[in-house]
Amino acid sequence: MKKLILFSAALLGLSFASCKKDSANSAGTARVTVKLTDAPGAYDAVILNIKQVVILSSGGEKTVDVNGTPIDILRFRNGKDTVLAGVDVPAGRLQEVRLVLNNTGNRVVINGVSYDLNTPSGQTSGVKLKVQDDLTSGIAYTLLLDFDAAQSIVTTGNGKYNLKPVIRAIPAAVSGALTGVVTPAAAFPRVYAIMGTDTVGTIADATGKFYFPGLAAGTYRVNFAPVTPYAVKTIDNVTVVNGAVKDLGSVTITQ
């Protein structure tokens, strides 16, 4: 999950200037972490050499290189998974994911013997997976690619093997967000969202708006530390849920 700043529980005595990150930089995007898992297959190993992951939403397209060695996907079964990539994707309707494979390094091992996997569909435009889900700006998501090894490897009858991937894409929101508007904007407060010993901080902008993307689900205390002569204000029991933006509306700060 993406956080702006991680603090200790001490708030007002901390220097904020060196740590802050403008939440406006995250506007219009959602953080997507792509993971790979596998359904069991009757092989010793199934090794994929993944080059890129391409994510297409109604807001645009994002391509991220997968840096690493070929992956034996049979190591990631029964609830285990591995992270392929993490990327900020234009918010909107998630439409398609493409898994692009390198030309070499894709193999299946059967009874101790290694065979090359012919993967023509994955070497050019990529293996295309249709996904329909909404990506909300400032929310973090995981996209789990559930690879079915048993159905994905096809023998040609002449001792060769083709890869025709059968993959199920499962999107899930793993964070929420928090927003609101401070009145008057001249109070220009530092704003802290506190849950247990974890604190996330930001600064309200010139219009008084504040925004926390990528918050873990839970109950927060929101603290406003304005400039002089305005008084500190706290709002308790603010609930953030995965996949939703909690709007505190107008927050009035008095002198």
Question: Per residue in 183-235, pLDDT tens?
Answer: 999 999 999 999 999 999 999 999 999 999 899 999 999 999 999 999 999 99
Question: For residue 105, is pLDDT > 70?
Answer: yes
Q: pLDDT digits over 163-180, tens only?
A: 888 888 888 899 999 999
Give the CA radius of gyration of the chain. 23
Classify 34 in phi/psi space as left (phi over 0), alpha (psi -120 to 50) or beta: beta
Q: What is the pLDDT of residue 13?
A: 38
The residue type of 141 is: Y
* Prediction pTM value: 0.73
The distance from CA 191 to its chain's CA centroid, rounded to whole angstroms, is 24
Output the six-digit token pair for 15: 């220097």
Question: Per-residue pLDDT for 36 more than 60?
Answer: yes
As a whole number of angstroms, the distance between CA 150 and CA 38 comes to 10
Percent share of the chain, pLDDT over 90: 51
Q: Which of 151, 138, 148 is nearest to 88 (CA)?
A: 138
